[in-house]
Amino acid sequence: MKVPYNQLFLLASVTLFLGSCNWSPTQNSAINTKKSGSDSTFNICYSSVVKKDTVLLNALVYGDSIRGSLGYKLYEKDQNNGSILGTMQGDTLRAMYTFVSEGTESVREVVFLKKDTLLVEGYGELKDDKGKVVFEDIKNIKFSGIVLQKVPCK
């Protein structure tokens, strides 16, 4: 079976990206895979550092899909690091966040609204859907959560 060149390139890019990511919430690291202005594969890195709280997002965007790492290190709360897999829908990043906290793996939906160079985390009513925590109604999400600033990927 022949694999189209563009799919092979995408698979190689994702593999390289995931192999080079630092999953710790103390660094933003990624590789720059964008080859030209029209290339739809590129990295994004965002962070929020407020007092003793740190949130980092490092991801590879390919087309409207997104895959990467997300880490929360919030003062006096359990630190959790994990991976996101989702899509960019216009100015909204919607993804499933798989993370480990206190030795237990969990999955929850995350949503961020892009505003210029910022990502604002969305909050709303949640429900359990077959072991995954998801938003009850995506239309009722309030974008008033943690604000992440776009930063250079290192």
Spatial separation of the C-alpha atoms in residues 85 and 67, rounded to whole Å: 5
Averaged confidence pLDDT in the chain: 81
Q: Cα 65 vs. chain centroid, distance in angstroms? A: 11
Per-residue pLDDT of 65-104, as tens digits, reads 999 999 999 988 888 999 999 999 999 999 999 998 888 8
Residue 31 pLDDT > 80: no
Q: Is the dihedral of CA 83, 25, 39, 12 positive or negative?
A: negative
Q: What is the pLDDT of residue 16?
A: 37
Residue recorded with tokens 């022949």: 2
The rounded distance, in Å, linking the Cα atoms of 136 and 120 is: 19
- Residue with tokens 């290192």, as numbered in its chain: 154
**136-145 pLDDT, tens digit each:** 999 999 999 9
pLDDT given for residue 110 in this prediction: 98
The pTM for the full model equals 0.75
Do 119 and 111 meet the contact criterion of CB atoms below 8 Å apart? no
Higher pLDDT, 72 or 30: 72
Q: Which own/partner contact pairs does 65-68 have at CB distance under 8 Å and 24+ positions apart? A: 66/93, 66/95, 67/14, 67/17, 67/18, 68/17, 68/21, 68/30, 68/44
Provide the CA 29 distance to its chain's centre, in angstroms: 13
pLDDT at 79: 86
